[in-house]
Structure 1
Amino acid sequence: MHSWFILIGLALMLLAGFGGSLFGNAWGPLQQVISLAVGALLLVIGFIFLMISKFYVRPSANMAYVRTGFGGRRVVLDSGALVFPYLHTLVPVSLETMKLEVERKGPDALITRDNLRVDVKAEFYIKVQPEVDAILNAARSLGDKSVNAQSVSQLVFEKLVSALRSVAATKDLVEIHAQRDAFASGVQQLVRSDLEQNGLTLESVTISRLDQTSQELLSDNNIFDAQGKRKITEITQAALVERNRIEQEARREITLKNVQTQKEILELERQRAEAEAAQQAEIAKIQAERKREAETYRIEQERQIQEAQIQQDQAVRVAAVERDRLLLLK
């Protein structure tokens, strides 16, 4: 659009100078003045639009700029500014949260209070607050570099490593492992003030990986590694002794349990045998009683039969005697 304003303005200004030859007496001084004034106005408007379109810079919501050079230092935030080549320098400042990863392992691993090395991978979440002072401090810290995750990492990497080392040196390996959040909080508190001097705000610190450094990577010529190896040997040997004690104790408990179980089984079998013997004795007793009762009943029956037979025989004899007596009387 600015091109049209400029072209029309130039055309009107040319018309002011050569309109008389084109329109004759109809083109008088008044028309020349109006044509010249309108042409100049359109030309100025066109140049203004041209400057705005070419040199006006407006940051996005997640970005800010620091303009330096002619007119002094100025923070461009939520608005815009004219930036002219050779007169100004523009430093972009990202307002997004930046994730900076710091990993220390092997020979570079952290040294704990008990002289053990620990491999650590930490993530630092950092951002520049959308405030004028914070943006200026961030831009000053990085000079003319853009404020992004890569440049910020180069600036504060050693600070972050130093904070990790300082906090690790105050805690034992087991303590760091058991209290990761406390370790991360200690690092965050230690490094926060240093980052604020660079216009950076530390949002959080997370420990994504934490493990003892492999013993093969430790050097016998390093006093910390030598002490660490001795500590590892002491701990592992103590653990082996304790494990052996636990295993032997477990075997003893298993044997005792087996013996106790066998005793209980034998006692149950004895009780079962006694119960079976008592049951057999009771059955034999009942059978003998039933047999005795049956024999008594049989004897009684035979006695009664014999007595009946005797009575019958007596009756027969009495009847015979009585018959003989009657015969004699006749």
Structure 2
Amino acid sequence: MLISNFYYEFLLLGLVSTLLLLLYVLYVRIPVDAAYLRTGLGKPKVLLGSGGFVIPFLHTLTPVSLQTYSLELHLQGANSLITKDLLRVDALIVFSVRVAAQPNSIQMAARVLGEVNLQRGTIQSLLEAEGTAVLRGTAAVMSFNTVHQQRHDFTETVNRRLNLQLQKYGLEVVSTALMKVEQTPKDYYDPQQVLDAQGLMLLEKAQFAYAKQRQIQRWNAESSARRYEFETAVQRMVWERDEFTARLQHIRFKAEADAKAEQELDEIHLAKELAFEMAQRDVQLIRLQTEQELMTAQTVVPLKLVSA
């Protein structure tokens, strides 16, 4: 009886251990940056976030990476974009995409892109093809100045259109960055092509207009500089004339002052001479009067003696 009880206990323990081992072996845990599509027995199921049971020989797992992939798409030279005004534009744009973390998108990406080790090359090919098509279609409805001056609107339009195109592959656009927009050199315009011929004609016409405008601005600048130099020379001549007039006036005033001072000195000398002559005359008059008085006095005294 005791042996029978131990037998059932060991049997139960073995069943539980076997069940736990099967659970450990059959249960697949899903990484944070990945998802799996389980196909085979039953309906296809997307394993995302937690995990699921996978029975060998009955189920097949297709891993799908949820990481973000980046691609630099450089369209330049003969492969450059053609804008609405038929001008060529060299553009460097960086796309960042990933598989959308939704069951339908993961299932679609697994079917289209394949296993995780093949996704990078597949996504790169898709981005190059779809991104080039979206860029060309967006640039074809915008002028060169619009693409250059309103880069944010151009990038938003490309981002929205590319997102719509990639949804059928289960992908979503994380970000789109327009790194460079430059005019394509004229050497890459093919005169044998109608669009390039028209674009080249418009480009040469615009360049001629800008060159003409620059020449007119240069002439205006030179004329302004010459006019300024002429006005400066005239002003300098006016200043020199005023300075010369002021100096002449100063010399004249000084000469008049010197002449007046000399005249005053002459008048002082003349007054001194007249005063001296008048003083001499006064002295002579006083002397004559004195002599006359003495003679009169001498004449009176003898008359008095005779009468006595």
Q: What's the TM-score bracket when you normalise by the shorter of the two chains?
A: 0.7 to 0.9
Say whether residues 1:280 and 2:251 are aligned partners.
yes
SS in 1 for 2:35: strand
Aligned with residue 167 of structure 1, among 138, 141, 151: 138
Is the contact made by 1:142 and 1:155 (CA closer than 8 Å) also made in structure 2?
Answer: no
- 2:166 aligned to which of 195, 200, 203: 195
**Residues 75 and 146 of structure 1: CA distance in aligned 2, closer, same or farther (over 3 Å):** farther
1:239 aligned residue:
210
How many Å separate the matches in 2 of 1:294 and 1:219?
A: 102
Instruction: Supply the distance in 2 between the matched residues of 1:314 and 1:116 (Cα, whole angstroms).
Output: 124
* Residue in structure 1 matched with residue 305 of structure 2 by the alignment: none
- Note if 1:73 corresponds to 2:44: yes
Give the aligned partner of residue 306 of structure 2: none
CA distance in 2, matches of 1:89, 1:320: 173
Instruction: Give the match's secondary structure for 1:170.
Output: coil
Identity %: 27
Residue 166 of structure 1: CA displacement? Answer: 0.5
Please give the alpha-carbon distance, in whole angstroms, between the structure 2 residues aligned to 1:326 and 1:72. Answer: 182
Question: 5+ residue gaps in structure 1?
Answer: 1-28
Other-structure match for 2:189: 218
Q: Aligned residue for 1:21?
A: none
Matching residue's letter, 2:28: V
How many pairs align?
A: 301
8 Å CA contact retained: 1:138, 1:147:
no
Instruction: Measure how far apart 1:145 and its partner are.
Output: 5.0
In the alignment, which of 129, 145, 155 is matched to residue 126 of structure 2? Answer: 155
CA contact under 8 A between 1:56 and 1:80: conserved in structure 2? yes
Shift of 1:135: 2.3
Structure 2 residue matching 1:287: 3-state secondary structure: helix
Cα distance 1:322–1:228, how it changes in 2: closer, same or farther (>3 A)? same
Letter of the aligned partner of 2:49 in structure 1?
Answer: D
Of the candidates 96, 109, 120, which is equivalent to residue 125 of structure 1?
96
8 A Cα contact 1:112 1:118, kept in partner: yes
Matched residue SS, 2:179: strand
Correspondence for 2:219: 248
**CA RMSD, 1 decimal:** 2.4
1:103 is matched with 74
Check the 8 A contact 2:36/2:62 in 1, yes or no.
yes
Q: Which residue of 1 aligns with 2:84?
A: 113
Report the alpha carbon displacement of residue 160 of structure 1 after superposing the two structures with TM.
Answer: 1.6
Where does residue 289 of structure 1 map in the other structure?
A: 260
SS in 2 for 1:209: strand
What is the Cα deviation at residue 266 of structure 1? 0.9
**Structure 1 CA distance for aligned equivalents of residues 5 and 109 of structure 2:** 53
8 Å CA contact 1:120–1:210 kept in 2: the answer is: yes
State the AA in 2 paired with 1:76.
Answer: L
CA separation of 1:171 and 1:322: change in aligned 2, threshold 3 A: same
CA distance in 1, matches of 2:16, 2:72: 51
**Residues 122 and 260 of structure 1: is their aligned pair in 2 closer, same or farther, counting only changes over 3 Å?**
same
CA distance in 1, matches of 2:267, 2:26: 139
Q: Which amino acid aligns with 2:282?
A: Q
Structure 1 distance, partners of 2:72, 2:26, is 37
Give the distance between the partners of 1:112 and 1:50, measured in 2 at CA: 64
Go from structure 1 to structure 2 and tell me whether the alpha carbon gap of 1:281 and 1:230 turns closer, same or farther (over 3 Å shift).
same
> Contact between 2:108 and 2:170, CA under 8 Å: does it hold in 1?
yes
Query: Could you report, residue by residue, the CA deviation over 1:298-328 in whole angstroms, capped at 9, with x for unpaired residues?
Result: 2222222221222122222322333344445
List gaps (5 residues or longer) in structure 2: 303-308
**Alpha-carbon spacing, 1:217–1:47, altered in 2? closer, same or farther (3 Å):** farther
C-alpha distance in structure 1 between counterparts of 2:119 and 2:151, whole Å: 28
CA distance in 1, matches of 2:138, 2:161: 8
Deviations 1:154-186 (A, max 9, x none): 334312211101111112222211211121122
User: How far apart are 1:94 and its partner, in Å?
Assistant: 3.0
